[in-house]
Amino acid sequence: MALRAVGFALPLAILTAWVLARSRFPGRSVLNAVVHLPLVLPPVVTGWLLLILFGVRGPIGALLHDWFGIRLVFTTAGATLACAVMVFPVMVRSVRLSLEAADLGLEQAARTLGAGRLDRLFNVTLPLASPGILVGAIVAYATCLGEFGAVITFAANIPGETQTLPLAIYAAIQVPGGEAKAAQLSLVSLTLALVGLLASEWAGRRLNAALGR
Query: What is the residue extent of each domain of the chain?
Result: 2-210
pLDDT the model gives residue 109: 80
**Which of the two residues, 91 and 158, has the higher pLDDT score?**
91
pLDDT the model gives residue 204: 72
Give the chain's end-to-end CA distance (angstroms, integer).
34
Query: Does residue 212 carry a pLDDT above 70?
Result: no
pLDDT the model gives residue 213: 60
Q: Kindly report the pTM of this predicted structure.
A: 0.85
Tell me the C-alpha to C-alpha distance, in Å, between residue 136 and each of 66, 104, 114, 144, 196: 35, 21, 31, 12, 11
pLDDT digit string (tens) for 99-130? 888 777 777 787 777 777 777 777 788 888 88
Count of Cβ atoms closer than 10 Å to residue 10 Cβ: 21
SS3 content of the chain, % helix, strand, coil (to 5): 75, 0, 25
Q: What is the CATH number of domain 2-210?
A: 1.10.3720.10
Q: Return mean pLDDT, the chain.
A: 87
For residue 131, what pLDDT band results from cuts at 50, 70 and 90? Answer: confident
Query: Does residue 77 carry a pLDDT above 70?
Result: yes
CA distance 82 to 85: 5
Query: Does residue 144 carry a pLDDT above 70?
Result: yes
